[in-house]
Amino acid sequence: MLNPSNLVTPGLWVAAAAATRRVGSWVVFCLAWTFGLQNACASGPTPAPAAVKFHVFTSEDDGFFDNSVVVEGRAGLLLIDAQLTRSNALKVLDMIHKLDKELKLVYITHEHADHFLGLEVFKSAFPDVKIVANSNVADRIDGVYGEKLAKWQGLLGPKAATSRVEITRFDGDHLDFEDLKVELRTHLQGDTSENSYVWFPKERVAVVSDMAYDQMHAYTVETTKQSRSQWMRNLEELEKLKPEMVIPGHSQPHKVFDADSAIRFTKGYLAAFEEELASSKSRVDLKARMKRRYPDAELFFSVERTAADLFKD
């Protein structure tokens, strides 16, 4: 079974009704959330549909467990991050087509290839779509785009992206998407030194990309002790927003997102990593320690690469 899509409408929630249906090789989970303290299945007037819905697609067949988020407004769609592979981007596109609304805007959070290489799929399907990232992120992507296309074509063959897509540099602090307030929190240390996330203050939803992980080994390859401390502080600032839902960059399929699981997991992981690193004598030792600490977490390649960089044994 491949990649589910979680449909979540935020609010003061009492879990409501859930319906599952199979679409091709992936499963769509529809979760109804209500603005009140009664079960949505109870008798009484049906609540009016919320203005915003968040559809989350998690890649499952590429080993990255990437989340792309389709934000559904009243008339159009906003996509946050675009997948690594062409094949998974096509699955996101299939989800978009089923919503029967135009994709208006794509926002790329940072320069890692698993968040932007699938852009060609969306630009081809929606030629007028605006694709944006802040200038630093766009510059970094420009610097690696050709290299990443070649690398993943060699590894994935026909599943890989094949062409470069222009990204517009945008350095504002909010996105213009319908009448929604969509704030951008940029220039942040996460798993890279130039990360960002999207904050919906009215809905109290944070789409945080690789600022947070859930049940995944966090990507520490590009970090130092100092930058990991800054990452931790950025997560603490995120907590102060008091989000009702946080959607991380990587999580297990079928995940139902909540206010604090991803933040709590990532903070705990970063603290554990520092402890185990301080006690490790070799790359083998560090890998064994992190495996014992998080036996069921995915993305272990992050630990392997970090250990190889830190220890030369």
28: pLDDT confidence band, cut at 50, 70 and 90? very low
61: pLDDT confidence band, cut at 50, 70 and 90? confident
Q: What dotted CATH number matches 2-37+49-215+238-270?
A: 3.60.15.10
Bridge partner list, 130: 105
Q: What is the pLDDT of residue 168?
A: 99
Q: What is the pLDDT of residue 11?
A: 38
Q: Is-above-0.95 flag for pTM? A: no
Q: What is the pLDDT of residue 50?
A: 58
Higher pLDDT, 61 or 136: 136
CA angle 301, 268, 108 (to 5 degrees): 60
Lowest mean pLDDT among 17-26, 118-127, 181-190, 285-294: 17-26
The C-alpha atoms of residue 82 and residue 213 are separated, in whole angstroms, by 17
Q: What is the pLDDT of residue 12?
A: 31
pLDDT in tens, 221-266: 999 999 999 999 999 999 999 999 999 999 999 899 999 999 999 9
CA neighbor of 67 nearest in space, from 14, 109, 30, 25 = 109
pLDDT in tens, 153-206: 999 999 999 999 999 999 999 999 999 999 999 999 999 999 999 999 999 999
Q: Count CB neighbours of 230 within 10 A.
A: 15
Q: What is the pLDDT of residue 62?
A: 87
CA neighbor of 257 nearest in space, from 218, 203, 300, 307 = 203
